[in-house]
Chain A
Amino acid sequence: MLVPILAPLALAAVAFAVPSNRRRPLALLAGAALHAAGVGALLATRPPARAGAWLVFDAMAAVTLLTSTSLFLAAAIYAQGYLARRQDRDNRVFVAGLLALLAAMTTVALSHHLGLAWVAMEAATLATAPLIYFNQNARSLEAAWKYLLIGSLGIALALLGTFFLALSGAGPGGPRSLLVEDLVAAGPALSLPWVRAAFVLLLVGYGTKMGLAPLHSWKPDAYGEAPGLLGALLAGGLTNSAFVCVARVFQVTRAAGEEAFAREALVGLGLLSMALAAVFVLGQRDFKRMLAYSSVEHMGILALGIGLGGGAAAGAFFHSMTNGLTKGVVFLAAGNIHRAYGSKVTDDVRGAARRLPVSGPLLLAGFLAVTGSPPFAPFFSEFAILNGAFAAGHHAIGALFLAFLAVIFVGMGATVLAVVQGDPRGAPTGPDPAERWLTAAPPLALMVLVLVLGLFLPRGLRELFGEAAALVGGSWGTP
C-alpha cells in the first residue's frame, strides 16, 4: 500500500540531492516505474481493507491510480526529451516537485480518512505552485500566484467543511471520526444540518481543486503557462484525485440522508461548468487555454455523472479514466507544438500536421477523442452518462448535455483545425522545430491506449467502474 506513496517521495529527496541537471530527470523514470509496479501489485492482490485503516485500495482508488500511473509513466518519458532540451533551467525543483505531486495525489486517492486526504491535497497544491512557475517569466508568475491564492482559499474552505463533518458526528452515539467507513456506518446518526453545510463547503473546496465552475479561474492560466507535461498531470491526475474526494464526501452525505440535495448541487455545478466551458471555448485563439476549458467541461461531466447516479455514475468513473488519458495526449501534443512554433495562439501557429508529423495529427485525433467522437473511449463513457440521464428520466439534462457537447465540438474544432491545417512556411519557429521521438512517442502511446479502450474494454475494468459507482449508489445495470 505504501510503495506508490513512499517510493516517489524518496526519489523526490534523491532528485533534490543529485547535483547533475542532466541526470536528475532519470529519477522521474524510476519513480514512474516503482509507482506503476506498486499500483500493479495492489491491483493484482486487491488487499482487503482492515477495519480502521486510513489507506484503502478500493475501486475508486484503483480507477484513479490506474489513470495517474499511466499518465505519469508517459510524462516521465516525455520529460527525458523535454528537460534535455531545457538545460537552460535548473530542474531540481521541477523534478522533485513532480515526484512529490505524484506521492500527494496517490495519497489523496487512497485515503479513506478525510483529514489525511485534506493534508495530502494541501501538499499537492504546494508542490504544484513552483512547477507552474518553471518558465520564470511574468506570465507564469501570474499563473502561479492565482493558482496558489485560489487553491489555498479552496483548501481552507475544504478544511472548514472537514471540521463541520467531524462535528456532525460528535453527538452522543456519533462516530467521532473522519474515516469514511465510520461516517457511512453512522449514517442518519450524523447531525443533518451540519452534514449539509459540510457538503456545500467541501464541494466548493474540492470543486476548486477539480476546477468546477465558477471556481475554475486558475485553470486556464495555470494550464496555459505551465509546461505541457504538468498540464497533462494536473488535468488527468490531480483533478481526478479531487474528484475522488468529492465522491467520498458524497458517499457520506448520501448515507446521512441528504442524497437529493447533494445530487442537485452536483448536477447544477456540472451543467454550469459545461455551459461556461462552451462559452469560453468559442473563438479561443490560445490552444493551451482552450484545453484548460475542455478540462473544466470534463470535470463538469464527472460531477454531472455522479449527481445523476445509476448508470451515469459508472459512466463517470469510466470517463475519469478516458478523459484523463486523452488529456495526456492533447496536453503533451500541444506542448510539442508550442515548442515548435514558440507560440500558442492560432494567429501564429498553422500547418502543425506538416511541421510535426506525429504531434500535429495527434492533437487532431486527441481533439476528436476528447469531444466524444467514436471510436475513441471517451465516446463510450460520455454515452454511458447520457444513457444514464435518459434512462432515469432526466430528459432536459440529457438534452442540455448534448447541446453543450455540440457547441464545444464546434468551438474546439475551429481552433484545432487552424493549428493543424495549412502551410507552415512563414510561421514563426520556436526552440524545438523538429519532431523528436522522446517527446512524440508518449502521447502516441496514450492515444493508442484511448483507441484500444474504445474498441475493446476489458471485462475487469468494466466491473471496476461498476464497483466504484456502487460506492456512490450507482451501477451499470439499473437506472
Chain B
Amino acid sequence: MALPADLVFILVVVLDFFLLASSRLGAAIRAVAIQGALLAALPLLLAGEGHDLGHTILLAVGALALKSLLIPWMMFRAIREASIRREMEPIVGFVASMVLGGIGVALAFAFASRLPLPGGDAHPFLVPTSLSTVWTGLLLVVTRKKAVNQVLGFLVLENGVFVFGLLLSGFMPVMVEAGVLLDLFAAVFVMGIVMFHINREFSSLDTARLSALKD
C-alpha cells in the first residue's frame, strides 16, 4: 500500500532493535521519543474510509504530545536528577537480547501471516510490527535493572499496543482510544513519583537494590 506507511512500520521495528542494543539511557529515551513521533503519524497515514477525521487528528496529536514530547521530557528530568547515564550490567546481555528480539520479530511475522484479519483491509505490516514491539517491550522490562530502563520498556510495550489499536480505530468507541493515552500518562506519572522516592531512599535508580523482599 502507501509507501510512507511501509517506511514508518520498518523504522518502528528498527528502533525496537536499537533499544535492545543500547546501553546509553539518553539515546534510549530519544529513540522512544522518535518511535512515539512515528506512531503519531500512523493514524493519519492509515486513515481510510469510515474513519472520522476528528478522531484521527485527536489520536495523532495526542500521541505526538504524550509519547514523543511529554513523557521523554519527564524521563530526561528523572535521569538528570539521579545523574545516571548508562545501563552497566543488564540481566541478559545486549547481544543475547538482540537475538531474542530477532526471534520475536520472526515469530510475529509468522503469527501474523497465519492469522486472517477479520476486517480484511489492514496494512500487512501492522500486526507484525505491533507484536514485535510488544515483545521488545516485554524483553526490556524483564532484562533491564535500571528503573528508567524498565519504564522505557513499558512505554515500548504500550507503543506496540497502540499500533494494534489502530486496527480498531474505525469502529471502536472513543473511550478505548482515550483510555490508552490517558492511562499511559497516568502510569508513567505515578511511576515517576515513585522513582523520585526511590531516588531519595537509595540515591540510585537501580532496582536490583530493591531486593529485601524475597522468600
Binding site for B on A (CB under 8 A): 115-116, 118-119, 122, 126, 129-130, 133, 136, 138-139, 141-146, 148-149, 152-153, 155-156, 159-160, 162-164, 166-171, 174, 176, 178, 191, 193-194, 197, 220-221, 224-225, 280, 284, 289
Are the CB atoms of B194 and A145 closer together than 8 Å?
Answer: yes
Q: Return chain B residues, CB-CB under 8 Å to A168.
A: 118
Q: Return chain B residues, CB-CB under 8 Å to A167.
A: 117-119, 167-168
Q: Return chain B residues, CB-CB under 8 Å to A170.
A: 118-119, 167-168, 171
Are the CB atoms of A146 and B210 closer together than 8 Å?
Answer: yes
Query: Nearest 5 CB-CB pairs, A to B?
Result: A171-B118, A142-B210, A191-B118, A115-B176, A221-B213
Bound CA–CA A376/B125 (angstroms): 57
Q: Return chain A residues, CB-CB under 8 Å to B150.
A: 149
- The digit string for B174-190, where 1 denotes a CB below 8 A from any CB of A, is 01100110010011001
Are the CB atoms of B158 and A224 closer together than 8 Å?
Answer: no
Please pick, from A163, A169, A171, the residue contacting B161 in the complex, using a CB distance under 8 A. A163
A-B contact pairs, 26 of them (CB 8 A): A119-B179, A122-B187, A126-B186, A130-B190, A136-B197, A145-B198, A146-B213, A148-B190, A149-B141, A149-B191, A152-B154, A153-B154, A153-B157, A156-B137, A160-B164, A162-B176, A163-B161, A163-B164, A166-B168, A166-B176, A167-B117, A170-B118, A178-B172, A193-B114, A193-B116, A194-B115
Are the CB atoms of A129 and B190 closer together than 8 Å?
Answer: yes
B3 on interface, CB distance cutoff 8 Å: no
B120 on interface, CB distance cutoff 8 Å: yes
Report the minimal beta-carbon distance from A254 to chain B, rounded to whole angstroms: 19
B71 on interface, CB distance cutoff 8 Å: no
Task: List 4 additional A-B contacts (Cβ < 8 Å) besides A155-B187, A167-B167, A197-B115.
Answer: A141-B210, A169-B118, A174-B118, A178-B172
Are the CB atoms of B213 and A171 closer together than 8 Å?
Answer: no
Q: Return chain A residues, CB-CB under 8 Å to B197.
A: 133, 136, 141
B15 on interface, CB distance cutoff 8 Å: no
Q: Return chain A residues, CB-CB under 8 Å to B117.
A: 167
Are the CB atoms of A280 and B118 closer together than 8 Å?
Answer: no
Bound CA–CA A457/B63 (angstroms): 53
Q: Return chain B residues, CB-CB under 8 Å to A115.
A: 172-173, 175-176, 179
Bound CA–CA A126/B186 (angstroms): 8
Closest to A119 in B: B179
Bound CA–CA A334/B98 (angstroms): 47
Are the CB atoms of B194 and A141 closer together than 8 Å?
Answer: yes
Given contacts A119-B183, A163-B167, contact A145 B157 (CB under 8 A): no
Bound CA–CA A118/B164 (angstroms): 16
B44 on interface, CB distance cutoff 8 Å: no
Q: How many A-B residue pairs have CB under 8 A?
A: 123
Q: Return chain A residues, CB-CB under 8 Å to B114.
A: 193
B204 on interface, CB distance cutoff 8 Å: no
Bound CA–CA A152/B192 (angstroms): 14
- Count, chain B residues at interface, CB 8 A: 45
Q: Return chain B residues, CB-CB under 8 Å to A130.
A: 190
Chain B contact residues: helix, strand, loop or mixed? helix
Are the CB atoms of A160 and B161 closer together than 8 Å?
Answer: yes
Q: Return chain A residues, CB-CB under 8 Å to B120.
A: 171
Q: Return chain A residues, CB-CB under 8 Å to B190.
A: 126, 129-130, 148
Highest count of chain A CB atoms <10 Å: which of B134, B179, B201? B179
Q: Return chain B residues, CB-CB under 8 Å to A163.
A: 161, 164-165, 167-168
- The digit string for B196-215, where 1 denotes a CB below 8 A from any CB of A, is 01100110000100111101
Report the minimal beta-carbon distance from B147 to chain A, rounded to whole angstroms: 7
Please pick, from A129, A197, A224, A225, the residue contacting B194 in the complex, using a CB distance under 8 A. A129
Q: Return chain B residues, CB-CB under 8 Å to A191.
A: 116, 118
* Chain B contacts with A in 141-157, Cβ cutoff 8 A: 141, 147, 150, 154, 157
Closest to A118 in B: B179
Q: Return chain B residues, CB-CB under 8 Å to A148.
A: 187, 190-191, 194
Q: Return chain B residues, CB-CB under 8 Å to A155.
A: 183, 187
Report the minimal beta-carbon distance from B96 to chain A, rounded to whole angstroms: 21
Report the minimal beta-carbon distance from A399 to chain B, rounded to whole angstroms: 27
B69 on interface, CB distance cutoff 8 Å: no
B138 on interface, CB distance cutoff 8 Å: yes
Closest to B182 in A: A119
Are the CB atoms of A139 and B212 closer together than 8 Å?
Answer: yes
Q: Return chain B residues, CB-CB under 8 Å to A169.
A: 118
Bound CA–CA A152/B165 (angstroms): 17
Report the minimal beta-carbon distance from A35 to chain B, rounded to whole angstroms: 24
Closest to B147 in A: A145
Q: Return chain B residues, CB-CB under 8 Å to A193.
A: 114-116
Please pick, from B167, B180, B211, B215, the residue contacting A289 in the complex, using a CB distance under 8 A. B215
- The digit string for B71-110, where 1 denotes a CB below 8 A from any CB of A, is 0000000000000000000000000000000000000000
Bound CA–CA A168/B194 (angstroms): 38
Given contacts A138-B201, A221-B213, contact A152 B187 (CB under 8 A): yes
